[in-house]
Chains A and B, each alone.
Chain A
């Protein structure tokens, strides 16, 4: 999964779509109590300064503990790394890298030891304190397109899995450098 930074306006539609997709009732268009409780696997977080010309988030009201109200928005999510440190650290065998290249989490095996959180350099794994397990991006493998990609109004989040995305990253790096 890659992010076209200049296109992300920090609207958080991806977060809502992700939470909704991972809520027990998959509450459709409406946001219900269980969507609110469900955790989004992608987070819009903000850097304080803006190294690109990308749009900044507008100041928001609210008490979210994560809220820095201004700054450039960065969607933070699992990259399904080639050499996933979270899988290496997972002592319960709940995290595995499957043959398609996705890093998959088995909530039944997870014991909430937070070792993966300690190992992920992107801070892409969250704690679900109610169930004492972690949650992370599952690439919406049950869907054709991940919910966040579908919900992104500006086309900032692009999903490519496995080798393809590696190649894409390289060409981007070459292109911009």
Chain B
């Protein structure tokens, strides 16, 4: 959108863009790409308080391990902003959104107008209120800066306590271990990966960790971080004291909804969005870890704070912002982690509990191969799948979940090690027009 200099002055603005995106990670970049699918010209500004060119938060643990460097952590090329005709405003924090005036205010007082706004402010790690949680040596792992600091602290012979057995915690543990740090993972739940993995799968992964030298303690809490000037030890709920140099809080994240809330936008746990990724204010959208969007399986709003959903939501929002009508089918949980060469993927709803009725679970385990597969069905339709060891079919299961294909006919095939898309086609479950008979 072109606004004359006079226009800016009248509105008391320093700059005006057709699209303003707060956030420079998966959802923000997804949004850029969505907009550019429809509108090649419209001006776009991407604002982030981090100074870094767009990089992958999922690679931060790889950065600690030394697998990726400052260059490889970038998930789009250096000339990306120029190529997409995007103005990056980095190292600046948005302090206010003024929906009535369609502009935002930065921490240096700059006022920037927008025609439509994307809030992709993500989430922040939660630091629990325990004594000593602010001592030097206590870290979280979310940003590039976090990774840089941890990687400086990590050295062979040191000892780290990772609080939390989720994806971030385990990836951090894996990375620290690769740097020669002795690692203890302390988990409150009775199992690791309690959000994404079922008990049997988690047990296989725990074994894999322990066989490779990472110590795991479940049903245990860190109650205090001890040390004079810096971290020296932690006191556990078991009464035990563990000496250590590094403590990492990896006990989940909370969506950054402050800006939206202050602007009067509807929020609950996250920012509430409809199936077009619109917030309660028509020209303001939200996507990614901050957005409470439709869940594919339940139809209710939920936050699946994962990379692919953030990119997809951003892309859908971007297209809608640019005037195309695109609907979000809903997100499903999806997690992949490779621990010491053992791949594991969990998609969809994998853990029906006692109160959840009507689910059918089939599973198969081949311990000597570290093969585990579990499929959760409802009314003949797959709603969740876990693959450990052999993961090549995981995407096929995810595809079947999204197609809501009735798999009753091929139920026995699902647990075969060699299950693949050909089995789906062979049983005529899906009509795929790229395969056809000429006769």
Q: Which residues of A contact B (CB under 8 A)?
A: 1-7, 43, 45-54, 65-68, 71-74, 76, 79, 85, 88-93, 108-109, 111-127, 129, 132, 165, 169-170, 172-173, 176
Chain B residues, Cβ within 8 Å of A1: 434
Report whether A109 and B437 are in contact in the complex, using a CB–CB cutoff of 8 Å.
no
Given contacts A45-B421, A74-B422, A88-B311, contact A120 B434 (CB under 8 A): no
Chain B residues, Cβ within 8 Å of A5: 435-437
Query: A88-B30, A89-B308, A121-B399 are known contacts; what are 14 more A-B pairs with Cβ within 8 Å?
Result: A6-B439, A45-B421, A47-B423, A47-B426, A72-B422, A79-B434, A89-B307, A93-B56, A111-B67, A116-B395, A118-B398, A121-B400, A125-B395, A169-B433
- Whole-angstrom distance between the alpha carbons of A124 and B308 in the complex? 18
Chain A residues, Cβ within 8 Å of B58: 91-92, 113, 115
Total cross-chain contacts (CB, 8 A): 176
- Whole-angstrom distance between the alpha carbons of A43 and B315 in the complex? 31
Chain A residues, Cβ within 8 Å of B337: 113
- Whole-angstrom distance between the alpha carbons of A74 and B347 in the complex? 25
Report whether B426 and A91 are in contact in the complex, using a CB–CB cutoff of 8 Å.
no
B contact patch SS: mixed
Given contacts A5-B435, A93-B75, contact A122 B423 (CB under 8 A): no
Given contacts A7-B438, A45-B422, contact A114 B343 (CB under 8 A): yes
Q: Which residue of A lies closest to B312 (CB)?
A: A88
- Whole-angstrom distance between the alpha carbons of A52 and B426 in the complex? 9
Chain B residues, Cβ within 8 Å of A125: 392, 395
CB-contact partner of A114 in B336, B423, B427, under 8 A: B336
Q: Which residue of B lies closest to A45 (CB)?
A: B422
- Whole-angstrom distance between the alpha carbons of A172 and B392 in the complex? 29
- Whole-angstrom distance between the alpha carbons of A47 and B426 in the complex? 4
- Contact residues, B392-439 vs A (CB, 8 A): 392-396, 398-400, 402-403, 413, 417-418, 420-428, 433-439
Chain A residues, Cβ within 8 Å of B435: 2-3, 5, 74
Given contacts A121-B395, A121-B399, contact A76 B308 (CB under 8 A): no
- Whether, in the assembled complex, B98 has its beta carbon less than 8 Å from a beta carbon of chain A, the answer is no
- Whole-angstrom distance between the alpha carbons of A122 and B27 in the complex? 25
- Whether, in the assembled complex, B345 has its beta carbon less than 8 Å from a beta carbon of chain A, the answer is yes
- Whether, in the assembled complex, B391 has its beta carbon less than 8 Å from a beta carbon of chain A, the answer is yes
Given contacts A1-B434, A5-B436, A173-B433, contact A115 B308 (CB under 8 A): yes
Report whether B434 and A74 are in contact in the complex, using a CB–CB cutoff of 8 Å.
no
- Whole-angstrom distance between the alpha carbons of A124 and B399 in the complex? 12
Report whether B427 and A47 are in contact in the complex, using a CB–CB cutoff of 8 Å.
yes
Given contacts A89-B307, A118-B391, contact A113 B338 (CB under 8 A): yes
B-side interface size class: 35 or more
Chain A residues, Cβ within 8 Å of B281: none
Chain B residues, Cβ within 8 Å of A172: 433, 436
Chain A residues, Cβ within 8 Å of B139: none
Report whether A2 and B437 are in contact in the complex, using a CB–CB cutoff of 8 Å.
no
Report whether A122 and B72 are in contact in the complex, using a CB–CB cutoff of 8 Å.
no
Report whether A74 and B308 are in contact in the complex, using a CB–CB cutoff of 8 Å.
no
CB-contact partner of A76 in B26, B74, B422, B428, under 8 A: B422
Q: Which residue of B lies closest to A94 (CB)?
A: B75
- Contact residues, B336-365 vs A (CB, 8 A): 336-338, 341, 343, 345, 347
Chain B residues, Cβ within 8 Å of A74: 421-422, 425-426, 435
Q: Which 6 A-B pairs have the closest CB atoms?
A: A47-B426, A121-B399, A93-B75, A45-B422, A91-B58, A120-B395
- Whether, in the assembled complex, B199 has its beta carbon less than 8 Å from a beta carbon of chain A, the answer is no
- Whether, in the assembled complex, B293 has its beta carbon less than 8 Å from a beta carbon of chain A, the answer is no
Report whether B426 and A123 are in contact in the complex, using a CB–CB cutoff of 8 Å.
no
- Whole-angstrom distance between the alpha carbons of A57 and B341 in the complex? 34
Report whether B439 and A53 are in contact in the complex, using a CB–CB cutoff of 8 Å.
yes
Report whether A3 and B391 are in contact in the complex, using a CB–CB cutoff of 8 Å.
no
B212 → A minimal CB distance (Å): 15
- Whether, in the assembled complex, B92 has its beta carbon less than 8 Å from a beta carbon of chain A, the answer is no
- For B392, B434, B438, the residue with the greatest tally of chain A CB atoms inside 10 Å of its CB is B434
Report whether A92 and B75 are in contact in the complex, using a CB–CB cutoff of 8 Å.
yes
- Whole-angstrom distance between the alpha carbons of A110 and B59 in the complex? 11
- For B393, B396, B421, the residue with the greatest tally of chain A CB atoms inside 10 Å of its CB is B421
Report whether B399 and A76 are in contact in the complex, using a CB–CB cutoff of 8 Å.
no
- Whether, in the assembled complex, B40 has its beta carbon less than 8 Å from a beta carbon of chain A, the answer is no
> Could you name 19 residue pairs across A and B whose Cβ atoms are closer than 8 Å?
A2-B435, A5-B435, A5-B436, A7-B438, A48-B423, A49-B427, A51-B426, A67-B418, A74-B426, A88-B312, A91-B58, A91-B59, A114-B336, A118-B334, A118-B398, A119-B308, A123-B395, A127-B343, A129-B341
CB-contact partner of A118 in B26, B74, B394, under 8 A: B394
Chain A residues, Cβ within 8 Å of B59: 91-92, 111
- Whole-angstrom distance between the alpha carbons of A50 and B428 in the complex? 9
Chain B residues, Cβ within 8 Å of A67: 418
Chain A residues, Cβ within 8 Å of B249: none
B167 → A minimal CB distance (Å): 11
Report whether B428 and A51 are in contact in the complex, using a CB–CB cutoff of 8 Å.
yes
CB-contact partner of A47 in B308, B425, B439, under 8 A: B425
Chain B residues, Cβ within 8 Å of A121: 395-396, 398-400, 402-403, 421
Chain A residues, Cβ within 8 Å of B426: 46-51, 71-72, 74
Given contacts A111-B67, A118-B347, A127-B392, contact A3 B422 (CB under 8 A): no
Q: Mark B63-100, 1 if CB is under 8 A from A, else 0.
A: 00001100010111100000000000000000000000
- Contact residues, B296-343 vs A (CB, 8 A): 307-308, 311-312, 315, 334-338, 341, 343
Report whether B68 and A123 are in contact in the complex, using a CB–CB cutoff of 8 Å.
no
CB-contact partner of B436 in A132, A165, A176, under 8 A: A176
Report whether B438 and A4 are in contact in the complex, using a CB–CB cutoff of 8 Å.
yes
